C-alpha cells in the first residue's frame, strides 16, 4: 500500500492507497514543533484504528510546502517503515507535467500534484482551485501544458487576519449567509468572508478564461472545497482527493 502525504501550512492530509483505490484519508494538524516520535505515535494510531499494520505500507510519497516537515517525514519513513520517501517536485513528476510555457521551473509540490491529477482525471483544458491556507489556482491549457496560476490568501488566513486586528469582531462559522446584505454583525462578516471568497474565485476564473480564449473545466479541492465551491458559479467538479491522487500518480510513474 502507498501512504501519500500532503503537508500544508495548516493541515496535513494522508491517503492510504491500494493501487488506484484510496482506502482511507485522514487530516491532522501540521505541527512542526512536535517530535518525530510524536508523529510516529499519531500515525501508528491512525493505521491501527483501521486495522492496518506497518508491514502493509510498502511505499511513501510526500508533497510539502513546509520545509521543516520534510526532514520529519523522511525520518518517519525510514524509522517506522524502513522506506525512502519520494519527494514530489518537478523532477520526480517527470513527463506527467509540462511546464515549458511557465517561466519558472520551481513549483510548490501541492501545485504540481494538483496539476498532474487534474490533467489525468479531467483532461485539458482544466483549472484547479485549491481552497487551503492559501487559495491556489492552477491552469492547464488546451494543449495539456501547465501555464501558471494564482496564489492568494486563503479564506481562513483572511478571516484570522480580520479577527486579530479587530478586537470587537467575533469568530464566525463559514456557512452560506443566504443574503448579500448582512442584517447583523455575524451575517455581515459571513457575507464578506464567504461570498467575498467565492466571488473572488469566480472573478479570477473568468479572467483566466478570457486570457486563454476558451472555457475550461474547473475542479475544486482542498480542506474547504466542499464548503466554498458549491457557492461558486464556475466550479464544475469537487474532488477532495485530487492532491493525494496526484501524489499517487507521480509515485507510480517512477522508474522501477
Dig out the grid coordinates for 34 from the structure.
512536535
Give helix 109-122 / helix 242-252 axis angle, nearest 10°. 90
pLDDT digits (tens, 9 = 90+) for 173-197: 888 899 999 999 889 988 988 999 9
CB burial of 166-190 (b: ≥16 within 10 Å; e: otherwise) equals eeeeeebeeeebeeeeeeeeeeebb
Q: What percent of the chain has pLDDT over 70?
A: 96
Give the pLDDT confidence score for residue 242 in this predicted structure: 97
Q: Is the pTM of this model over 0.75?
A: yes
Q: Which three cell numbers stand for residue 167?
A: 478586537
Cβ atoms of 138 and 149 within 8 Å: the answer is yes
Examine the residue annotation and report whether 143 is marked as an active-site residue of this protein. no
The grid coordinates listed for 159 are 478571516
Starting at the edge strand found earlier in the chain, the sheet holding 134-140 runs 146-153, 134-140, 126-131, 217-221, 237-238
Tell which phi-psi region holds residue 95, choosing left (phi > 0), alpha (psi between -120 and 50) or beta.
alpha
Per-residue pLDDT tens listing for the chain (256 residues): 999 999 988 889 999 999 999 999 999 988 888 899 999 999 999 999 999 999 999 999 999 988 888 999 999 999 999 999 999 999 999 999 998 877 665 789 999 999 999 999 999 999 999 998 889 999 999 999 999 999 998 888 777 777 666 655 667 888 889 999 999 988 998 898 899 999 999 999 999 999 999 999 999 999 889 889 999 999 999 999 999 999 999 999 999 7
CA angle 31, 93, 47 (to 5 degrees): 40
- In this prediction, residue 104 carries a pLDDT of 60
pLDDT value at residue 159: 78
Residue 116 to residue 114: CA distance in whole angstroms: 6
Catalytic residue selected from 56, 87, 95, 110: 110
- The reported pLDDT for the residue numbered 65 is 81
Amino acid at each position: 500500500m502507498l501512504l501519500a502525504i500532503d503537508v500544508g501550512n495548516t493541515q496535513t492530509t494522508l491517503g492510504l492507497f491500494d493501487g488506484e483505490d484510496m482506502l482511507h484519508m485522514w487530516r491532522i494538524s501540521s505541527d512542526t514543533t512536535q517530535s518525530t516520535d510524536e508523529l510516529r505515535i499519531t500515525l501508528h494510531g491512525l493505521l491501527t484504528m483501521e486495522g492496518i499494520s506497518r508491514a502493509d505500507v510498502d511505499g511513501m510519497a510526500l508533497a510539502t510546502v513546509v520545509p521543516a516537515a520534510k526532514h520529519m517525514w523522511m525520518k518517519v519513513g525510514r524509522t517506522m517503515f524502513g522506506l525512502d520517501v519520494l519527494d514530489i517536485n518537478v523532477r520526480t513528476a517527470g513527463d506527467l507535467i509540462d511546464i515549458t510555457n511557465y517561466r519558472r521551473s520551481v513549483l510548490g509540490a501541492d501545485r504540481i500534484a494538483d496539476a498532474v491529477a487534474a490533467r489525468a482525471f479531467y483532461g485539458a483544458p482544466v483549472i484547479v482551485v485549491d481552497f487551503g491556507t492559501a487559495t491556489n489556482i492552477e491552469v492547464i491549457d488546451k494543449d495539456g501544458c501547465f501555464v501558471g496560476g494564482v496564489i492568494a490568501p486563503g479564506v481562513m488566513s483572511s478571516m484570522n487576519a480580520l479577527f486579530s486586528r479587530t478586537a470587537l469582531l467575533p469568530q464566525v462559522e463559514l456557512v452560506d449567509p443566504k443574503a448579500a446584505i448582512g442584517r447583523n454583525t455575524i451575517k455581515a462578516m459571513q457575507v464578506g468572508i464567504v461570498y467575498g471568497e467565492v466571488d473572488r474565485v469566480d472573478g479570477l476564473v473568468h479572467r483566466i478564461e478570457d486570457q486563454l480564449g476558451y472555457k475550461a473545466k474547473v475542479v475544486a479541492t482542498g480542506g474547504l472545497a466542499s464548503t466554498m465551491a458549491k457557492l461558486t458559479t464556475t466550479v464544475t467538479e469537487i474532488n477532495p482527493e485530487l492532491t493525494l491522487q496526484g501524489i499517487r500518480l507521480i509515485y507510480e510513474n517512477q522508474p522501477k
